[in-house]
Amino acid sequence: MGDVDVLFLHPSTYVSTSDGEVVRYVAVPMGTFALADLLERNGYSTRIVHVGLKRMLDPNYKVENLIKALEPTLVGIDLHWYCHSYDAIKLADCVKRCTNAKVVLGGMTASFFADEILSSFDCVDYVIVGDAELPMIELIKALMKSTEVSDVPNLVYRKGSAVKRSRGAYLASSEDLDKLTCSDLKLLEDWDLYVRLIHENDVLSPKLKTQGWLMIGRGCSVNCSYCGGANLAHRKIFGRQQPIFRSPEKVAEDLRAFEELGISCAYMDFDPYTNRKFYYKLFELVRKEGIDISSQFLIWSLTDRNFVQDLKKTFNPLYTTLTISPETGSDFVRLKNKGFYYDNQSLLRWLEMLEEEMVPAELYFASGLSGETVEEFNKTMKLGERILRTYNNVVAISCNPLFLEPCSPRFLLPKKYGIRLKFRSFSDFYKTYKCFAEGTVPPSRLGYDTEYLNESQIIELSSKFNEVVGSILEGENLTQHCA
Amino acid sequence: MEFKIEARMPPRLFSKVSLVYSGIGLRYFHTGFIPSGLMHLGKWVWRFYPLTLVRLDKTQEQHEEVLFSFCFIYQSINGKRFFVTQPITFVDDIREGFEFFIENIEDFAKEACLNGVDIELHQVLDEYVSYPTSYTCISYDLSSISCNHDVFVEQLRSMGYKEYVKVWTYGIAPLDDDEQTVCLQDVSPESVSRMFIYENLFSYRSWTLPTLEHGLKPFGTPQIAKFASRDGLTEAAFILRPDLLEFAKKYRTPIPQLYQKTLGKYPFSNLKVVMWLAKDIDTLLASLKKLIHSETLKGFKRTEIAGVEDRLEEVKRALSGVGFRPACYTTILSKELV
């Protein structure tokens, strides 16, 4: 028996560049903290280790030494985001080479490709498909008692050479989510550095704010063409038909805990309903309890003025922003791709309202959308430029090429969305990120072409957008400072 | 008790005191990271260090924010130095941890091979001091905090710090214009700045942070720039800024300059002469009277003049003579490290 029962390892994505290794995609899924806390409260000792963070702090860090020292019974590796496909497996392999611990993967990517992962990689013993709270407790219980795992709900496992699905099914309810605590960041080693990671690959630069991701609910009500967390994916992977929320009281509790941990800004990215009834209740509670924290609130659809005013009077203005992803400057392309549609005029009116209310905005665009041509993307360029020149309260704006996300509508229905898939299986994702890690050129970087644009064009368009935006901002700084 | 320093600016700072940031990268401030740096000894170093002193209670597993200061590296006439703006305290015992805080700053500055550390401390003498309250890019509403000037000065002196400069700010309500000999002319702020840097004929001038680097002093619009001339010759020049703290307090924003449309229409009460130079004291006074009179007609109720060095006794006397009253003074204490 080792020092911890369950060791959670977060795999970051390593990318070899001409300047050496860089670590990308550093966020830990919020569920990891909830699971670790839940296990602790059920009598199992746990620890969360962010392997990427360790490597940032010490390039010679060897996770093997920790695993050997702790001798965990079970190692949980999150494979929620596809970008960890290679590194999660590599980590699993590392665990197997140095201990007898069992390895379980979880998260949306692992869930979607569970059968293929277990068929292809001996270093993985189990995959939990979908919600993992009850299954994780049942799994460690079975392992500690050396009993069969076939009754552990949502579990995919190997029996001999066959891949099996367990009997039970578990779908978390709002009540279940309320039993979770997602704010005990102290379960993560180096948590005080982790909350400083507001920018990729950069833990040590001096920041104004620290940030914590807030768990508000699960699921989605709509289907954006490119999103692996869309309604379709939640139905397929979790069996969840509609989004569920935690109670405002529990979310406020986490906000209070963040404040006590010295976290300045809560990252809030769960906005599946346009009426936002939940948030009016939450905001009222936050005000009532006098919680002093900022919020980076990611809205999925345009809001009315009431919501903006309510947000403004609830959160500390220091780092409070509203973040929106219009993705494109083409109304036609937005209609084809976004679950919540709004036209450019409405977006501009909304930004104007934000300016009047003195709330800063962050905007994100993308290239590689379905139906997007070079001409349509030019509308994105023009809109981005116009917004930046018109609204000083737009404090961040950028464009990124879309990666193919497993289980996204365009992955599941490529013809409908005018996509030619280059990634179809887990191994495609695995091989691509292996190439990134080893510094070689993968056959495909994004995993698709659209009917109008190939990968190189898609990447090039985003670069062009960011160049234009960068030069405007640079010019602005020089102009502002010449006095 | 154990302390540590964390690089962050806690939200409670803004709950405690209204502030205005008007430095480089205005748009970035709300995102939590100002991407500004400089090359130093062949290496890239970050510019801004928002430092929070935290007290740790290990038995309770709790921490408490004790003090905050916004700091930055700058190229001064005395080499690259670390500048520490007015420390803002969150606890009653302001001495606690201060020495630890300063010692750690010195260690950091030594490690970074900086020439020295400069610390800005304010002593408030009037009910209100308008923006900018600092000679740097971050200004606090000094009326809502204790600056603890004397306590910090005493502690710093015991740590080997010496007064580098003492600078006064004077304020006045409407002033009669009995001087008709000076003509005021609107000019670009750049022309005043250029004159300030390159013109040696003006004997009297305001003190400003001794750096030419962009975005470390208060900057940006709105601002008013004037030349004062007699017989067609420029004899004084001024840059004035309206009191952004009024706006920051009313609208609860630390970056008023992101909202130029509303700023442009805002009926400011206070105005401050932040940069000035004059050939002689008579010209300075005549120009100021004319300037303040004309701005009063536009609705400004009170004007301040900053940057009056303590050694300029004649200027101080002259200002007092026409009714200016000291609003505050700022002491900058320095320590050389190499």
At A25-64, the pLDDT tens digits run: 888 999 999 999 999 999 999 999 999 989 888 889 999 9
Asked whether the beta carbons of A423 and A432 are under 8 A apart, the reply is: yes
Residues above pLDDT 70, as percent of chain A: 97
- Please say whether the beta carbons of B101 and B159 come within 8 A: no
| Fold that domain A6-165 belongs to in CATH | Rossmann fold (3.40.50)
Among the partner residues B27, B190, B215, nearest to A473 by beta-carbon distance: B27
Predicted pLDDT at A483: 36
Q: What was the pLDDT predicted at A23?
A: 82
Q: Give the mean pLDDT of A168-173.
A: 95
| Interface contacts (A, B; CB < 8 Å) | 134
Q: Are residues B181 and B156 in the same domain?
A: no
The neighbour count for residue B32, using CB atoms within 10 Å, is 24
Domain ranges of chain A: 6-165, 208-481
Yes or no, beta carbons of A208 and B9 under 8 Å apart: yes
25-44 in chain A: CB under 8 A from chain B: none
Task: Determine whether the interchain pair A262/B8 forms a contact, defined as Cβ–Cβ distance below 8 Å.
Answer: yes
CB contact under 8 A, A392 and B258: yes
> What residues have CB less than 8 Å from A67, skipping those under 6 apart?
A7, A75, A94, A95, A98, A99, A101
Cβ of residue B262 closer than 8 Å to a chain A Cβ? yes
CATH code for position B113: 3.40.630.30
Average pLDDT over residues A257-278: 96
A275-294 confidence digits (pLDDT tens): 999 999 999 999 999 999 99
Which amino acid is located at A34 in the chain? A
B6 and A192: CB-CB below 8 Å? yes
Distance between CA A193 and CA A443 in Å, rounded? 35
| Claim to verify: residue B162 and residue B16 sit in the same structural domain | yes
Is the domain of B34 the same as that of B84? yes
Sign of the alpha-carbon torsion through A469, A474, A477, A482: negative
Residue A208, chain B, CB below 8 Å: the answer is yes
Task: Identify the band that residue A200 occupies on the pLDDT scale cut at 50, 70 and 90.
Answer: low
Q: How far apart are CA A125 and CA A127, in angstroms?
A: 7
Q: Return the pLDDT at B177.
A: 64
Question: CB-based contact (8 Å) between B28 and chain A?
Answer: yes
Count CB-CB contacts under 10 A for residue A383.
Answer: 19
Instruction: Using DSSP bridges, classify how beta strands A244-245 and A217-218 pair: parallel, antiparallel or unpaired.
Output: antiparallel
pLDDT for the residue numbered A203: 67
Tell whether B162 and B177 lie within a shared domain: no
Residue B108 contacts A, CB cutoff 8 Å: no
Domains contained in chain B, number: 2
Q: Provide, as residue numbers in chain A, all residues whose Cβ is less than 8 Å from the Cβ of B54.
A: 262
Give the side-chain half-sphere CA count within 13 A for A243: 22
Q: Which amino acid is at B221?
A: T
In this complex, the residue of A205, A316, A358 whose CB is nearest that of residue B15 is A316
Q: Chain B within 8 Å of A69 (Cβ-Cβ)?
A: no
Kindly state whether residue B254 falls inside one of the protein's structural domains.
Answer: yes
CB–CB contact A319 B12 (8 Å): no
Q: Confirm whether B43 is domain-assigned.
A: yes
Q: What per-residue confidence (pLDDT) applies to A198?
A: 67
Residues of B within 8 A of A186 (CB-CB) are: 61
CB B18 within 8 A of CB B144: yes
ipTM over 0.90 threshold:
yes
Pair A360, A316: CB distance under 8 Å: no
With vertex at residue A90, the alpha carbon angle to CA A85 and CA A94, rounded to the nearest 5 degrees, is: 150
Q: Which residue of A lies nearest to B72 if distances are taken between CA atoms?
A: A206
Q: Which two tokens stand for residue B298?
A: 């536009």
**Out of B25, B252, B259, closest to residue A393 by CB:** B259
Same domain, B181 and B144: no
Pairing of strands B162-172, B325-336: antiparallel
Provide the Cα torsion B26, B29, B33, B37; round to 10°: 30
Minimum-distance CB partner of A209 among B8, B223, B253: B8
**pLDDT of the residue at A482:** 40
Of B113, B137, B167, the position where a domain reaches its end is: B167
Q: How far from A431 is each of A158, A394, A458, B226, CA to CA, in Å? A: 23, 38, 21, 66
Contacts of A199 in chain B (CB under 8 A): 33
**pLDDT at residue A456 in the model:** 97
Of B12, B34, B48, the CB nearest to A292: B12
B79 and B178: one domain?
no
Q: Which of these three, B167, B195, B224, is where a domain ends? A: B167
Residue that is last in its domain, among B167, B188, B206? B167
Q: Could you give the CA distance from residue A261 to residue B62 in angstroms, rounded to a whole number?
A: 8
Pairwise CB contact (< 8 Å): B11 & A319: yes
Q: Does B244 touch chain A (CB under 8 A)?
A: no
pTM score above 0.90:
yes
The residue type at A371 = G
Same domain, B180 and B107: no
Is residue B132 less than 8 Å (CB to CB) from chain A?
no
Q: Are B120 and B191 in the same domain?
A: no
Instruction: Tell me: do B302 and B233 sit in the same domain.
Output: yes
Are the C-beta atoms of B5 and B87 separated by less than 8 Å? no
* pLDDT of res. B77: 86
Q: Are A183 and A254 in contact (CB under 8 A)?
A: yes
Closest by Cα among A50, A52, A47 to A13: A52
Considering only CB atoms, which chain A residues are within 8 Å of B9?
Answer: 208-209, 264, 318
Is A265–B32 a contact, with Cβ atoms under 8 angstroms apart?
A: yes
- Fold agreement between A6-165 and A208-481: no
CA distances (Å), B7 to each of A208, B288, B335, in order? 7, 42, 22
Q: Is the pLDDT of residue A2 over 90?
A: no
User: Same structural domain for residues B161 and B175?
Assistant: no
Determine the Cα–Cα distance for residues A163 and A135; give it in Å rounded to an integer: 17
SS (H, E, C) B206-247: CCCCCCCCCCCCCCCCCCEEEEEEECCEEEEEEEEEECHHHH
pLDDT band at A1 (very low <50, low <70, confident <90, very high): low
Burial of A97 (0-12, 13-18, 19+ CB in 10 A): exposed
- By Cβ distance, the residue of A360, A477, A483 closest to B25 is A477
Class of the CATH-defined domain A208-481: alpha beta
Which are the contacts of B36, defined by CB distance < 8 A and separation ≥ 6? B24, B25, B46, B47, B48, B215
The enclosing domain of B297 has a CATH number of 3.40.630
Q: Are residues B161 and B180 in the same domain?
A: no
Residue-averaged pLDDT of chain A: 94
Question: In chain B, which residues have pLDDT < 70?
Answer: 60, 175-180
Q: Provide the phi-psi class of A327: left if phi over 0, else alpha when psi is between -120 and 50, else beta.
A: left
Contacts of B239 in chain A (CB under 8 A): 483
B153 and B176 in one domain?
no
Residue B336 lies in a domain: no
Q: What is the pLDDT of residue A199?
A: 64
User: By residue range, what is the domain housing residue B206?
Assistant: 171-328
